[in-house]
Structure 1
Amino acid sequence: MIRFVRNSFRLLGMARTLARHDALFPLALVPGGKLLAFFARLTAPFSRRSDLPPGRRLARALEELGPAFIKLGQTLATRSDLIGDDVAADLSSLQDRLPPFSVKIAKRIITEQLAEPFDVLFDQFDDEPVAAASIAQVHFATTPDGREVAVKVLRPDIKVRFARDLDLFYWVAEIVELTQPRLRRLKPIETVKALEDSVHLEMDLRFEAAAASEFRDNFDSDPTYYIPQIDWERTAEHVMTMERVKGVRIDNVEALDRMGVDRSALLAKAAGAFFQQVFRDGFFHADMHPGNLFVDETGQVSVVDFGIMGRVDKQTRLYLAEMLLGFLTRDYHRVAEVHFEAGYVPRNQSLENFQQACRSIGEPILGKELADISVGRLLGQLFQVTEQFGMETQPQLLMLQKTMIVAEGLSRILSPNENMWELSRPLIEEWMRENLGPEAKIKEATLQAGSMLRRLPRVLEAAEQAASVFTDQGLRLHPDTIAAMRGKASNGQGKSTGFSRHTLILWVAIAALGAAVFLK
């Protein structure tokens, strides 16, 4: 009851903020939302109509509501199936900026976390942060040995504030799932859980440091794509220190032109790196807005901010590759088959009808000029038409789709007449050949055979133990059966059958091995 009362009042307060920005439309998803919107508009001071698009109005309201709501907006930006393409696109540009906290507090947190005097840790430390976001802020500093670094410091009391807001989000999601059966397939509770998991990872900066380290290892041999090195001695739960990178924002085309950077070549590098992240590594930067990408005079791209990362397992990557290839070659039958094989669409649905739906999505998009084709938009529309086919939300694909849209938008800023997917085509073809071609099938079969052989000694050992149960632990068998096993039974010519204990073990082993392979 206390939770109900507390969250009811907080929901009304949130609705009043939405009303001030003329952004009450999300309340349509909440039971009683129309009544709540009416009271909010009635009681909200300075409530006004706005000429801005709905997504922009919502973004401004979420920025006013604070850190957890900003993160909620960023999560909703991946849910075009829930809020529509246009609103999702507007939320993708949601500004994660808040007023900074004082440098005095930042230094106190650093000293407590690293258990060292501040002067021992840093020789110089900028008073003004270079960035202040919902969870942390960043200061430039210099270490005693002369290295230039960027120091990220978690906001004080941020965990308590997020816990309070997450409780409200869960409460609303639970009500929606309980009262709106048609929306259960969109998994509102799971969406909040994904937000909670993401935020918990972001609130322990050691996890972000580990992500940066893994990302750096993945691109260690790529001189065109740089990930700064972590200073682990100056990193803890609430503090992360990494090498400072320099350059201009990747969307500052005027500065790039002044530096003599070939923007077409730069786009090819960025597109190739994005493809490698998703398909080669299955580990991608999921917050790839221009403020996290910098370019120096040599054209090298440096990446920062690893708080939001995405993972795609090998099988999903294979399905995704086949799905995209099917769309790009207009093989809609194969696109539909892949959805059924992956289990995304239930078996009781019509393959032919789903194939027709895929064609209705692909033809309008693929009929455009090459530079205007958006794979991210294609996936977004695909997710929107799945409700009638009972397809459940795939959170890992939603995050990837949102990242694709951001990457495609950036590619059009750099070189409007080129398409990043066409530039990545040689990599795509090579990856498809290596992972879906005949060579890949042979390699997979070889690996499976090797795995089976490695398991063989354990299977034989288990078989011998099973045989000992049959022969040594008192299992009652007919005397003739025992005689046959021991080779004492005649084969009709007075000779032993030769069916010894070791033969029994071998047959049990073969049967066990066959079962293991069959059930694998």
Structure 2
Amino acid sequence: MRTLLSFPFRLLHILRVLTRHDALAVADAMGVYPALVKPLRRFSRRKAEGRPGQKLARALGELGPSFIKMGQFLATRADLVGEDVAGDLAELQDRLPPFSFEEARDLIEDELGQPLEELFEVFDRTPISAASIAQVHFAVTRPSDEEVSASQEDPQDFLAEDAPEAPAAGREVAVKILRPGIEHAFERDLQLFYLMARMIERSQPPLRRFRPVAVVELFENTVRLEMDFRMEAAAASELADNFADDPDYEVPAIDWERTAQRVLTQTRLTGIRLDNRNALIEAGHDLTEVLRKASAIFFNQVFRDGFFHGDQHPGNMFVTERGTIAAVDFGIMGRLDRKTRYFLADMLLATLARDYRRLAEVQMEAGYLPSDQAVDTYAQALRAVCEPIFGRPLNRISFARLLGQLFKLTETFNLSVQPQLVLLQKNMLMAEGVSRRLDPSLNIWILAEPLIIRWMQENRGLKARLQHSGETMAGALERLPETLLSVERTLNDLSENGLRLNTGTAGRFPRHNGAGRWALPVGGLALLLAVLALLIH
């Protein structure tokens, strides 16, 4: 009841902040509640500087952690807010004042069940970073009992303003600590997000295709996973296993003994930000080799493993002294199942052949393009988007513009976008941006060409297709007895009781309208277009 009563006041505060920054410009452009938004903008007469997305980013930053996370989430959904706004939200600074060392100590001790002094030999009081969900401290683990000398130092000495050199037996680590109170704040604001999403769905028919409630549900699931550091630790561990034999990629090792739901301890990695061109050159790194490694890592994560880092901005990736590419922050990860990767490959083959009819058919066969849409018309639209890039130097192709055009197709054909593929688009654009900053004459997708060719041969060549067909047939034969028994039971039931459909039974029938399907994978198509280096470099 108390939460419900606070809703109007919270909404009023949000409206004030949005109005003060003229952030309602985004809602105005999207056509959200024009009867309310337009008068509010005229009444406020605010003339804040910057583009609509920049205004919204400033407002969300002021509204606090939950809204900062929502802004970062929307930065991955250009299909909802547009490419320009998504780009501006991607620059949203996730920096907040740090919480106190005493709060950090209490949380660590509550989560790990031991005094801080027994866990760490050195623990830096000052955090290295403080964001909306967590802050990070550098520390050095305490050696095992066998390695601890008989003479113990004063336990308070280990709390250093500037952490000293690590003891020989200790390990340098980074300790990530959940921000106190963030879970409660998230729950409070989440109810508001759901309320606004339901209001939009009920009163704004043109916006229903974006499925606002489903968007909030996805946001909720994403942030809940991000706030459980055991899940982030598991993601880092899985990624490290996938690249165990790759000397070019480094993922921090997880200290599971010092990791819990609200505390994550991992090996401390150091290096130069991936986009710091001058520093990389001064350190003696070959920029072409750096890009080659980065492109191979990106391709292997997406196509080989179907499990990729979902937030690969330059602040999360750097080049170590040894020349390896290192990554941190695994709270957001993306997955693509094998079937989706195969369809992406088939779309690539059709695109490379400039067979837009086949490209449209592949998407219809995959269930991405509803059967009530005209294939020929859609193929024509694909041609209009793809043809202009052929024959142009890759370093002059704007994939941001291409993505914007692809997103417009989703609106024209009343489709939405698969979230994982939109996440993939975001990371593709980040990779491309880093590539151009390091060497404008190169394109990161050209460097991945050998991997692309080999993967296509191994997975979508004639031999691979025959093997896949054989496996599919074998699986169908294996399920045949169970299928026949199921059919027999259904027929017996029909003969005894007649035809009856309950809600559960009806729910198992396939839906043929656009709303019930996974939508057009324009993100995957954009990635595939990015590797057109196979033909045009």
If the length of structure 1 is used for normalisation, what is the TM-score? 0.83
Deviates more, 1:214-223 or 1:74-83: 74-83
Alignment of 1:49 with 2:73, yes or no, is: no
- Counterpart of 1:68, as a letter, is S
Alignment of 1:381-400 (within 5 A): 381-400=405-424
* Partner Cα separation in structure 2 for residue 461 and residue 17 of structure 1: 62
Q: Is the 8 A contact 1:326 1:332 kept in 2?
A: yes
* Partner Cα separation in structure 1 for residue 101 and residue 478 of structure 2: 58
Q: Percent identity over the alignment? A: 52
The residue aligned with 1:475 is none
Aligned residue among 172, 178, 202 for 1:154: 178
The residue aligned with 1:35 is 36
Q: Is the 8 A contact 1:261 1:298 kept in 2?
A: no
The residue aligned with 2:158 is none
* Partner Cα separation in structure 1 for residue 349 and residue 72 of structure 2: 29
The residue aligned with 1:363 is 387
Q: How big is the shift at 1:384? A: 2.1
Q: Is the 8 A contact 1:218 1:281 kept in 2?
A: yes
Q: Is the 8 A contact 2:357 2:379 kept in 1?
A: yes
Deviates more, 1:288-297 or 1:235-244: 288-297
- Counterpart of 2:471, as a letter, is L
Aligned residue among 123, 126, 129 for 2:124: 126
Q: How big is the shift at 1:4? A: 7.3
- Counterpart of 1:117, as a letter, is P
* Partner Cα separation in structure 1 for residue 276 and residue 201 of structure 2: 44
Alignment of 1:175-324 (within 5 A): 175-324=199-348
Q: 1:361-415 CA deviation, whole Å, 9 max, x = no partner?
A: 1133445421233556534431322223232331121111112111211111122
* Partner Cα separation in structure 1 for residue 484 and residue 381 of structure 2: 53
Cα RMSD (Å): 2.6
The residue aligned with 1:13 is 13
Q: Is the 8 A contact 1:372 1:419 kept in 2?
A: no
Q: 1:248-271 CA deviation, whole Å, 9 max, x = no partner?
A: 111111110011101111111101
- Counterpart of 1:233, as a letter, is E
- Counterpart of 2:327, as a letter, is V
Deviates more, 1:49-58 or 1:323-332: 323-332
Q: How big is the shift at 1:184? A: 1.4
The residue aligned with 1:476 is none
Counterparts in 2 of 1:182 and 1:365: CA distance versus 1, 3 Å:
farther
Deviates more, 1:23-32 or 1:153-162: 23-32
- Counterpart of 1:74, as a letter, is Q
- Counterpart of 1:112, as a letter, is D
Q: How big is the shift at 1:275? A: 0.8
- Counterpart of 2:260, as a letter, is A
Q: 1:466-491 CA deviation, whole Å, 9 max, x = no partner?
A: 9xxx9xxxxxxxxxxxxxxxxxxxxx
Q: 1:438-463 CA deviation, whole Å, 9 max, x = no partner?
A: 1111221333455467668x769979
Q: Is the 8 A contact 1:19 1:41 kept in 2?
A: no
- Counterpart of 1:167, as a letter, is Q
Helix, strand or coil for the counterpart of 1:94?
coil
5+ residue gaps, structure 2:
144-169, 493-537
- Counterpart of 1:432, as a letter, is M
The residue aligned with 1:489 is none
Q: How big is the shift at 1:30? A: 7.0
The residue aligned with 2:195 is 171
* Partner Cα separation in structure 1 for residue 370 and residue 178 of structure 2: 44
* Larger gyration radius, structure 1 or structure 2: 1
Alignment of 1:433-444 (within 5 A): 433-444=457-468
Alignment of 1:65-80 (within 5 A): 65-80=63-78
- Counterpart of 1:138, as a letter, is V
* Partner Cα separation in structure 1 for residue 348 and residue 470 of structure 2: 28
Helix, strand or coil for the counterpart of 2:138?
strand
Helix, strand or coil for the counterpart of 1:112?
helix
The residue aligned with 1:108 is 106
* Partner Cα separation in structure 1 for residue 85 and residue 344 of structure 2: 25
The residue aligned with 2:516 is none
Counterparts in 2 of 1:138 and 1:189: CA distance versus 1, 3 Å:
same
The residue aligned with 2:495 is none
The residue aligned with 1:26 is 26
Counterparts in 2 of 1:31 and 1:383: CA distance versus 1, 3 Å:
closer
Q: Is the 8 A contact 2:250 2:326 kept in 1?
A: yes
The residue aligned with 2:533 is none
Counterparts in 2 of 1:441 and 1:121: CA distance versus 1, 3 Å:
same
Aligned residue among 77, 84, 87 for 1:86: 84
* Partner Cα separation in structure 2 for residue 425 and residue 192 of structure 1: 38
Aligned residue among 60, 63, 72 for 2:61: 63
* Partner Cα separation in structure 1 for residue 278 and residue 135 of structure 2: 28
Q: 1:220-264 CA deviation, whole Å, 9 max, x = no partner?
A: 110011101000000001000000001111111111001110111
Helix, strand or coil for the counterpart of 1:385?
helix
- Counterpart of 2:246, as a letter, is D
Q: Is the 8 A contact 1:374 1:408 kept in 2?
A: no
5+ residue gaps, structure 1:
471-520
* Partner Cα separation in structure 2 for residue 124 and residue 137 of structure 1: 17
* Partner Cα separation in structure 2 for residue 179 and residue 293 of structure 1: 43
Counterparts in 2 of 1:337 and 1:136: CA distance versus 1, 3 Å:
same
Q: Is the 8 A contact 1:153 1:240 kept in 2?
A: yes
Deviates more, 1:116-125 or 1:312-321: 312-321
Alignment of 1:421 with 2:439, yes or no, is: no
